[in-house]
Structure 1
Amino acid sequence: MTQLLTGQTAVVTGGAQGIGLAIARTYVEHGARVVLGDLDEAAAEAAAKELGGPDVATGVRCDVVEADQVQGLVEAAVATYGSLDVFVNNAGITRDATMRTMSEDDFDLVVQVHLKGTWNGTRLAAAHMRGEKSGAIVNISSLSGKVGMVGQTNYSAAKAGIVGLTKAAAKEMAHHGVRVNAIQPGLIRSAMTEAMPQKAWDQKMSEIPMQRVGEVDEVAGVALFYASSLSSYMTGTVAEVTGGRFM
C-alpha cells in the first residue's frame, strides 16, 4: 500500500472515538503521526496507545471552545512530532429537542462546540500553516447542515455554519498554500446512531439509495483524500458521504 501521509503530522479533535478515531487510525496507517484532542483525556490517551503509542500518537485533553486549549494542540503537534500538516475539526455533541422544548443553554452549547470550535481549530491551524506555505484543514459538517433535521435547529445551524466558515477560510488561505475542505457524513454506524429508536432508523434507511448505513472508515477515507496530495487542487469544497441520501 502506498502511504499518502508519510512524515506528516495531523491533529484530530474529538479523536478518542467514533469518526475521529477512525480518521486518526487511517492517517497512522498512511504514515502520519497524530495528536488526538478530546474532552475525555483518559479516552484520548487510551486511543493513542491503541494506535501505537507515543511514536505515532499522543492524546491531549482539549475543550475546543477554549482557544488556548486548541492552540495547545497545535503546539503539541509541533513540539512532539516537528510539524503540523493536517488539522481535522471533528469534535461535536448533540442536544436534540424541538424548538419549543430546546433550552437556550442547549442551543448555545451545540453552536459553541461545533461552530466556534471549528473556527478555533481552523484559524489557529491556519496561522501556523501559512508560515509553512502548506497544510490541509478538514472540517466535519453533517448532512443535517444541508437539509435541516427536525429537533436539530441547534445542530443543523452549526453544521451549516461550518460549510460557510470552510468556504470563507478557504478563500482567505488559498494564496498561503493552505487548503480547507468539509465533509458532510450522513447516517454512519456508531454507538449514538445504533441507540436510535427502530422507527427513526427505518425512516432514515428508507431515504438512502444505497440501502445501507455508512461505516466510520468510509468517512475516514474521504478525510484521507482531503489531507493528502490526491486533492491538491481542491479547496472550499464539501464532500457528502451519505450513500446518496438527499442528493
Structure 2
Amino acid sequence: KPRECSAARSGAARRAGSSSRFLSGSSDSRRLAGKVAVITGAASGIGKATAAEFVRNGARVVLADVQDELGRAAAADLGGTDTACYTRCDVTDEAQVAAAVDLAVARHGRLDIMFNNAGITGGSYAAAPIESLDMADFDRVMAVNLRGVAAGIKHAARAMAPRGQGCILCTSSTAGALAGSGPHAYSVSKTAVVGMVRSAAAELAARGVRVNAISPYAIATSMGARAVREMLGLPPRNAGDEEEEELVRRVFEEDFNEMGGGVVLRAEDVARAAVFLASDDARYITGHNLMVDGGFSVAKPLNVPAN
C-alpha cells in the first residue's frame, strides 16, 4: 500500500498570486502540463525550487524528503493535495523510494518524471588528505548520493517503461566532473551518478524512457553555505537563510565573479534546466550531463588564479 501523502490546502491562495508567472525567457508556462513528478530532496534547495517550477509549468508533484516540517510546508505553499503533496522518503531505504513512486501512481495514475535530487556532502567539505578518509562517512555519502539515485532510477523505470515513456533526472555536480573541487566521497559519488545515468539511458532509450543528469555549480543554499564556511575555516552557525545566502553570494561575487558573467547561480536556475529536460522539448535528449555552472568546469580549477 502506498504511503499517505500530506499537504495542507492553505497554500492555494498564495499559489494563485504566482500562477501567472512565466519561466524566464519563455512564453510557455505549461511545458509540463498534465505530467506527474516525484522529486527527492524536495523540502529545500534545488528540490524545493524545482517543485515550484514544475507546478508553475502544469505538473503535479510528490515532494519526498526526510525533513518533514519543511516538506509539508513546501507542499502547502504549492497548493495542497490537488497539486503537490509531501511524503517522507529516506533514499537509503529502497522500500521508501518504491513507496514514493507507488504513491504518485496511486494518486495520479502515472509517473512521468522522477527527479533523483536528494544528496549530502558528507561529514566535512573542508579539504582533507586521502589518508584521513573516513570510510564510514564515505559509505554514508555513497548510500545517499549514489545508491539512492540507483533506487530511484530502478523504481521509476518500473513505473515508466511499461507505458513506453518517461523522464528520469539525477542531480550530479561540477565536483563530479572536475577533480579537486569537492571532498573525495562527494566527488566520487557525483562522478558515479553520471555513470549510472549513462548506463540506465543506454538500456531505457529503446523503451521510451529518457535518463539525464544535471550538474550544478555551488549554490547559495543551506548546504552551499555550510560548504563555504568549512572551506573558509569558519564555525557552523544556525543563521537564517538570508544570512547564509548572503555569505555564499559575497564569496562567489568576490572570488568567482568571472564565472557566468558575474551572475551568482541560484536554485531556480537549476530548476529551469530541470523543466527543460523533463519537457517534451528535450524528447530526443538522453544520457546527457547538463552542466549548469557558468563555464566553471571548462575554465580553471577551484581556487587557482586565472593568471
Normalising by structure 1, we get a TM-score of 0.94
Cα distance in structure 1, aligned partners of 2:193 and 2:261: 26
Partner of 2:74: 47
Partner of 2:162: 131
* Preserved CA contact (<8 Å) 1:210 1:244: no
Amino-acid identity (%): 40
Runs of at least 5 residues in structure 1 that lack an aligned partner in the other structure: none
String of CA shifts for 1:172-201, please: whole Å, max 9, x gaps: 100100000000000222123235249853
Cα distance in structure 2, aligned partners of 1:104 and 1:199: 21
Secondary structure at the residue paired with 2:158?
Answer: helix
* Correspondence 1:176-187 to 2 at 5 A: 176-187=207-218
Q: Offset at 1:31?
A: 0.6
Secondary structure at the residue paired with 2:131?
Answer: coil
Secondary structure at the residue paired with 1:158?
Answer: helix
* Structure 1 pair 148–31 and aligned structure 2 pair: CA distance change class (3 A): same
Cα distance in structure 1, aligned partners of 2:273 and 2:295: 15
* Structure 1 pair 64–204 and aligned structure 2 pair: CA distance change class (3 A): farther
* Correspondence 1:85-96 to 2 at 5 A: 85-95=112-122, 96=124
Which of 259, 281, 285 does residue 230 from structure 1 map onto? 281
AA in 2 matched with 1:112: A
* Preserved CA contact (<8 Å) 1:183 1:241: yes
39-48 vs 115-124, greater mean Cα deviation? 39-48
* Correspondence 1:110-121 to 2 at 5 A: 110-121=141-152
Partner of 1:142: 173
* Correspondence 1:213-228 to 2 at 5 A: 213-228=264-279
AA in 2 matched with 1:214: L
Partner of 1:74: 101
Which of 262, 267, 272 does residue 211 from structure 1 map onto? 262
When Rg is computed on C-alpha atoms for both structures, the one with the higher figure is 2
Which of 174, 177, 183 does residue 205 from structure 2 map onto? 174
Runs of at least 5 residues in structure 2 that lack an aligned partner in the other structure: 1-27, 233-250, 299-307
String of CA shifts for 1:114-144, please: whole Å, max 9, x gaps: 0000000011101110011000000100000
Q: Offset at 1:14?
A: 0.2
String of CA shifts for 1:185-241, please: whole Å, max 9, x gaps: 002221232352498535851562522320111000110011000100110001100
